[in-house]
Copies of this chain bind each other. A is one copy, B any other.
Amino acid sequence: MSNALSVEAPEGLPFIDYTREFDAPVEDLFRAHADPELFARWVGPSDLTTELPTYDFTSGGRWRMVQRRGEEEYAFRGTFHTVRENELAVQTFEFEGFPDAVSLEFFTFEQLPGNRSRLVGHAVYPTLEARDGMVSSGMESGLADGYDQLDALLAERAA
């Protein structure tokens, strides 16, 4: 796939870095993050449903997300430190099942030539162990699934 997800967990640093390109302009990519109805349709593994009881995508806002698969339920919450339209979102992130291992996530939205765009993610963890735990939780396949669903959503909206 030409728009494959690239994920890197650098040795000895508590970071996860990833990049994904999209066949859509940066405004559409940003809107798919900013609008909770759109965001809930694509984020996360394809076999989970997502609800966003709180989603104030503004600088200083807060969010909470609940994902379900049958009887299983996974809840996440955080704050949006910065939201700058079509450019940047900085948010905190916590899985409520593993409390206090809060991370900080930077999402940079870039316009590319040919009405394409790029999302650059940089996640920062409070310990190397927390970072390694996130890597081994299947984060990469969850991200990849989500971005494939986002491809479909962006194509549908462009049509």
Interface residues of A, Cβ cutoff 8 Å to B:
12-14, 60, 62, 77-82, 88, 90, 92, 94, 100, 102-104, 106, 122, 124-126, 128
Q: How many subunits of this chain does the assembly comprise?
A: 2
- Cα A100 to Cα B122 in complex, Å, equals 12
Determine which residue in A14, A80, A94, A126 has the highest number of CB atoms from chain B within 10 A of its CB, and name it: A126
Q: Which residues of B contact A88 (CB under 8 A)?
A: 100
Q: Which residues of B contact A62 (CB under 8 A)?
A: 60, 79
A31 to B: closest C-beta gap in Å: 21
A8 to B: closest C-beta gap in Å: 14
A100 and B92 contacting across the interface, CB-CB below 8 Å:
no
| Contact residue among B60, B100, B122 (Cβ-Cβ distance under 8 Å from A126) | B122
Who on chain B is nearest to A123 by CB?
B126
A81 and B79 contacting across the interface, CB-CB below 8 Å:
yes
A111 to B: closest C-beta gap in Å: 18
